[in-house]
Amino acid sequence: MIDVLLGLQWGDEGKGKIVDYLADNYDLICRFQGGPNAGHTIVIGGKKHVLHTIPSGIFRPTVINVIGNGVVIDPIVLAKELAMLAENEITADKILIARKAHLILPTHRYLDAASEAAKGKAKIGSTLRGIGPTYMDKTGRNGLRVGDLESADFMQRYAALKEKHLSLAKIYPNIDFDLEKEEQEWFDSLEVIKKLQFIDSSYYLSEALKAGKKILAEGAQGSMLDIDYGTYPYVTSSNTITAGVCTGLGVPPQSIGKVYGISKSYCTRVGSGPFPTELDNELGEELRQLGAEFGATTGRPRRTGWIDLAQLKYTIMLNGVDHLCITKMDCLNTFESIELGIGYTEKGQLTDRLPYNLEADLSPQYQTLQGWNQDINSIRDYNEMPTEVKDYISFLENYLGVPVTMLSTGPEREALIIKD
């Protein structure tokens, strides 16, 4: 079976840390969607590593890491990640790339930036990594794939796509972009990528499943950024939910096993779009500082707010979550009381359903729980947790109807509690 781990909010829930922890129990870790818009942080022995394309199993010596066909790959970013890993004495022999994964061209990034510039105030707040334009070329049937690197006419196809992008860009405002320099770096990086092992991922994974290998699919972004079910149009361009695993890896639905959903003990969002429980005030700033909420990919300050249980109920439903993991519990250590969003009042009615229009004038309703108001960072046994932590977790479990089986209390690999 292929277990799945994904974010239930707007990304940055701590997926990298939890995948790295769980990877010890798996043979393969597979990314199935997204691209270098992701930034997955892993802290081992006090050293911080950020991964954008490579799965978070790479720090476990025996684990194979698959970059699936649903991922979009920027060779420049991938080559930099490989260099970072080499500095940490990690080689690339445990990395496999699906031939059907699409390539992000320099002109995709150019189009991303130009399109955002044209949107003005309505901008999405994209990471500007070329994600949208690359998936557009995929669905538009124009894209270049990793497997095309092996074909004789790659250069002609590259040149044709680049020209098409440059004509398209004429509808957008001019922006600064040194295409010649970017292309040079892209082609240099391609030489690095070409040395990696390319696979036909559906055959490869089918055989791995038959051989009884334990596989974990690692989500990127969060369910609220899903192209179909997120806060459209303020979303990314892929299916970030469990359903994306089948198309993003080429595996049948019967092969999906347990689904781990991750949420912070509060909520964050980076980029534009609705965020009903946002705290756009001093308290929000306090949460940002306590949680060090600055993007792992772009360094942008993340918007912060209280945990939104109605929102979580929705993404648990979409993903078929079996187990919940609550991260950043330690970031609430200093609060006398903690608020939890339990629905919205819309036209005088309380509802726990997310309305079609999340930009409508929604008033979130809150349950207040007593804070634990003490340092819980070094506790490793759930039974030793303060009563207030247990009450908070019970409240989540009762409202959401799913057990919390992991609690994270710090960025380090070891700061994790497994709860039965």
- The amino acid that residue 382 corresponds to is Y
Tokens found for residue 296: 């792992």
12 binds Mg ion (CB under 5 A): yes
Determine the Cα–Cα distance for residues 242 and 168; give it in Å rounded to an integer. Answer: 34
Binding mask 277-306 for Mg ion (x = CB under 5 A): -------------------x----------
- 404 with 322: CB under 8 angstroms? no
Q: How many residues bind Mg ion (CB under 5 A)?
A: 3
Question: Which residue sits closest to ligand GDP, CB atoms considered?
Answer: 41
Q: Considering only residues 34, 36, 39, 364, which one is a binding residue for Mg ion as defined by CB under 5 A?
A: 39
Comparing CA positions, the residue from 359, 345, 272 lying closest to residue 310 is: 345
Strand locations in 75-133, DSSP E?
A: 95-98, 102-103
Q: Distance from first CA to last CA of the chain, Å, rounded?
A: 22
Question: Which residue sits closest to ligand IMO, CB atoms considered?
Answer: 271
Q: Considering only residues 69, 126, 242, 263, which one is a binding residue for ligand IMO as defined by CB under 6 A?
A: 126
Q: Tell me the closest approach of the beta carbon of residue 210 to ligand GDP, in angstroms.
A: 31
Q: Considering only residues 32, 33, 39, 379, which one is a binding residue for ligand IMO as defined by CB under 6 A?
A: 39
75 binds ligand IMO (CB under 6 A): no
Active site residues: 12, 40
Q: Considering only residues 4, 36, 40, 110, which one is a binding residue for ligand GDP as defined by CB under 6 A?
A: 40
With tokens 């149009």, the residue in question is 233
225 binds ligand IMO (CB under 6 A): yes
What residues from 260 to 289 belong to the interface with ligand IMO (CB under 6 A)?
270-271
Q: Tell me the closest approach of the beta carbon of residue 403 to ligand GDP, in angstroms.
A: 18
Tokens found for residue 372: 């634990």
- 94 with 65: CB under 8 angstroms? yes
Strand locations in 45-169, DSSP E?
A: 47-51, 64-67, 72-73, 95-98, 102-103
Q: Considering only residues 22, 23, 30, 37, which one is a binding residue for ligand IMO as defined by CB under 6 A?
A: 37
Query: Which of the ranges 6-14, 258-266, 332-340, 396-404 carries the binding residues for Mg ion, by CB under 5 A?
Result: 6-14
Q: Tell me the closest approach of the beta carbon of residue 121 to ligand GDP, in angstroms.
A: 26
Determine the Cα–Cα distance for residues 221 and 299; give it in Å rounded to an integer. Answer: 16
304 binds ligand IMO (CB under 6 A): no
CB atoms within 10 A of CB 313: 20
CB atoms within 10 A of CB 346: 15
221 binds ligand IMO (CB under 6 A): yes
Closest to ligand GDP by CB, 43 vs 369, is 43
Determine the Cα–Cα distance for residues 47 and 345; give it in Å rounded to an integer. Answer: 45
- The amino acid that residue 35 corresponds to is G
Binding mask 9-28 for ligand GDP (x = CB under 6 A): --xxxxxxx-----------
Question: What sign does the CA torsion over 150, 151, 155, 160 have?
Answer: negative
3-state secondary structure of 7: strand
327 binds ligand GDP (CB under 6 A): yes
Comparing CA positions, the residue from 337, 226, 221, 342 lying closest to residue 277 is: 342
Closest to ligand IMO by CB, 12 vs 20, is 12
Q: Note the residues at the interface with ligand IMO (CB under 6 A).
A: 7, 10-12, 37-40, 124-127, 129, 131-132, 220-222, 225, 236, 270-271, 296
Q: Note the residues at the interface with ligand GDP (CB under 6 A).
A: 7, 11-17, 39-41, 43, 296, 327-328, 330-331, 408-411, 415
